[in-house]
Amino acid sequence: MTSLTITPWRPLKGALSIPGDKSITHRAIILSALAEGRSTITGYCRGEDCLNTARSFRALGIRIDESPERLDVHGKGLWGLSEPEHPLDCGNSGTGIRLLTGLLAGQDFFTVLTGDESVKRRPMGRVVKPLREMGAVISGRKGGELAPLAVTGRRLSGIAYTSPVSSAQVKSSLLLAGLYAEGLTRITEPWRSRDHTERLFRYFGIPVQEDGQAVVLQGRPAVGWPAKNLLVPGDLSAAAFFMVGACIVPESEVALLGVGVNPTRTGVLEILTEMGADIQVVNEREEAGEPVADLLVRSAPLHGIRIGAERIPRMIDEFPILCVAAAMAEGETVITGAEELRVKESDRIAAMVSELRKMGTRVTETPDGLILQGIGKSGDRLRGASCTSHGDHRVAMALAIAGLTADTPTTIDDTACIETSFPGFYDNLLKLLTT
Ligand code: S3P
């Protein structure tokens, strides 16, 4: 089993280009495969999750040429996919399996979708139920609640669906099904989740409307869309680890370059700034319909914060690293309305509570979040400890950053999972620690 040992108290210094966004890479592969002709995706996320999506499309008959810098996807148009010979393995990726389920529901062939042990524990009913309302024929364990899922392609009809959860995976799954459905597909969610699918649809020329809290798509477009080249913005969720590292280790100063700052994702920037962080957003520009900027971060004393349900969708993946920021901040942090974190790659509330406790943090778990007492100005440090990732890439990386502020080295077990989203994480961290 792989592990990381982190030696504490060296400042982070220097500049880093942040690797491509995982959410956007999944979507770029999907829409390029459905376009007509060759799309080049530069700066894509090389994490296993996205590579599994690329492998799935190869199995669906799409040629994809892969090099470290770019993917060339030879799209065959909206109806160009063909029946795979074997089950599609989405690995650890909830995004991969949920988006593909929607896409494949309206095809004229049969597919089986599966993933690793974590994916097989995650709720699939949230996409299966509305897809069935659209006419999809999907079966799976526990009545379709759990993968593997068997999808028998069918002619679909658009629906107006109000999702009980704010989830870009649910919304995107239904939008992809909606492309193949008769009539309008309309999705409303409690709070708007990340809008990369909508932006990329528009970038490829597929009209998708916004109507208050809802997104609306007309299905079965009469004409397809041509291939497009795109540069994937850096992943704000990957940058967040170094951002928090630079905030909490004194004398740090880092520049994180080419980071996506889509407003449906920037909760982490706002929350850290409210906590007292020194973060400047400079060189704002646009790539493939997405806002991009460079982030300049200097260490600064942080204070505790209250985060409620309405803010969770815009910081959903930053919960583990924000817990680390809170552990080093002065005073109390209270997070509520975060029950979605219990059904991520791990139960991230339970995982962060148990691991930060090992490192000496006073923290109480609640059903939908936590209450945490930060160290602040007391001069105390976190305690070096023997931690585990719970098989979750974001927990592993968050604990590595926490380890930078401990009194003795911290070991994190089971860190191979980092490969799912950020293969160069440790090398990049070392680069910043030794510049
Ligand atoms: C993602 C959406 C979010 C997020 C995940 C990626 C996406 O999940 O946590 O890492 O790419 O659509 P939910 O839709 O379940 O909130």
Pair (291, 419) in one structural domain = yes
Last residue of a domain, one of 191, 216, 231: 231
Query: What is the distance between the terminal CA atoms of the chain, rounded to a whole angstrom?
Result: 29
Tell whether the model's pLDDT for residue 9 goes beyond 80: no
Q: How much is the pLDDT for 434? A: 85
Relative to the CA of 197, which ligand 1 atom is closest? 12
Relative to the CA of 172, which ligand 1 atom is closest? 12
Tell whether the model's pLDDT for residue 394 goes beyond 90: yes
Pair (220, 356) in one structural domain = no
pLDDT digits (tens, 9 = 90+) for 151-209: 999 999 999 999 999 999 999 999 999 999 999 999 999 999 999 999 999 999 999 99
pLDDT digits (tens, 9 = 90+) for 260-297: 999 999 999 999 999 999 999 999 999 999 999 999 99
Statement: the pTM of the whole predicted model exceeds 0.85: yes
* Residue carrying structure tokens 């926490």: 402
Pair (223, 285) in one structural domain = no
Between 434 and 202, the more confident residue is: 202
Pair (388, 269) in one structural domain = yes
Q: How much is the pLDDT for 378? A: 73
* Alpha-carbon span 199 to 372, nearest angstrom: 37
The tally of domains found in the chain comes to 2
Pair (272, 250) in one structural domain = yes
Tell whether the model's pLDDT for residue 409 goes beyond 90: yes
pLDDT digits (tens, 9 = 90+) for 121-153: 999 999 999 999 999 999 999 999 999 999 999
* Residues identified as active-site: 317
> What integer best gives the mean pLDDT of the chain?
97
Q: What is the mean pLDDT of residues 218-247?
A: 97
Pair (54, 65) in one structural domain = yes
Last residue of a domain, one of 231, 254, 288: 231
* Alpha-carbon span 100 to 85, nearest angstrom: 16
Q: How much is the pLDDT for 1? A: 73
377 confidence band (pLDDT: 50, 70, 90): confident
Q: Which residues are CB-contacts of 77 (< 8 A; sequence separation ≥ 6)?
A: 34, 35, 36, 224
Q: What's the CATH number where 95 sits?
A: 3.65.10.10
Distance 95 CA to ligand 1 centre (A): 6
For ligand 1, mutation pick of 169, 317, 342 (most atoms within 8 Å of CB): 169
Range of the domain at 110: 22-231
Pair (322, 187) in one structural domain = no
- How many of the other CB atoms lie within 10 Å of CB of 341? 22
